[in-house]
Amino acid sequence: MELIIGPRTYSTWSLRGWLVMKRTGADFTVIDARYETEAQKAALREVSPSGFVPVLKVGGELIWDTLAIAEWANEHYPQARMWPADSITRALARSATAEMHSGFSALRNFCGTSSDRPMVGDARSETPSDPALDRDLSRLVTLFGQMRRRFGADGPWLFGEWSIADAFYTPVAARLRHFQIDLADYGDDGTAGAYAASLLAQPDFRLWEAEALA
């Protein structure tokens, strides 16, 4: 099994896919791809149907979207319990994951990662300001706060026990750190900020960060 990923310093979708695959406990080989130059993009299109990463190569097939990789991993490694067991909690976790997958566009635009604005390490950028970004950050505070208050008794993650949702929000926590965004400025009582800090402290993210900086 091979996981093709982009640069570890700033490829946020690659981090999500990698975190999910790590949780399976399965052996997989990481293949590094780049997409800065036209030549690199052309080479990536040779191995990725969409030209994007991550891509999981398994059994001669390609799975080229992070959510699809996550669902595949969940189906094939049920012992990893990637989604909450309870049906309603699972639907909420899927909603939060899908919201990240297709939403938070201002957060992506204004807090975009790159080699100059990495999601790992000590480099920091000025905090951007925009009404659309403010709305995304307020929504993040509401989502994190509501779910942590509701499921906190079951564990430290967004829905108590670790789930795919946590993989999807880990790069968000890294963006908040890089862009020096304090969620208290968006109505957080400390709950959302503490959850974001937990995401950055998870051993798999720390391993990713160490490898990215090596």
Rounded to the nearest 5°, which phi and psi values hold at 88?
A: -70, -45
Among 18, 35, 104, 168, binds ligand GSH (CB under 6 A): 35
Q: Taking a C-beta distance cutoff of 8 angstroms, is the pair 175, 111 a contact?
A: yes
**Residue 202 Rama label (left phi>0; alpha psi -120 to 50; beta):** beta
Contact call for residue 65 and ligand GSH (CB under 6 A): yes
Q: Which two tokens stand for residue 5?
A: 């990923």
Comparing CA positions, the residue from 20, 4, 3, 7 lying closest to residue 205 is 20
Restricting to residues 127-156, name those near ligand GSH by CB under 6 A: none
Please identify, among the stretches 7-15, 71-79, 190-198, 206-214, the one whose residues bind ligand GSH according to the rule CB under 6 A: 7-15
| 34 vs 135, beta carbon nearer ligand GSH | 34
Which neighbouring-strand residues pair with 62? Answer: 57
Among 4, 6, 168, 192, binds ligand GSH (CB under 6 A): 6
* Least separation in angstroms between CB 112 and ligand GSH: 10
Binding site for ligand GSH (CB under 6 A): 6, 11-14, 35, 41, 51-53, 65-67, 101
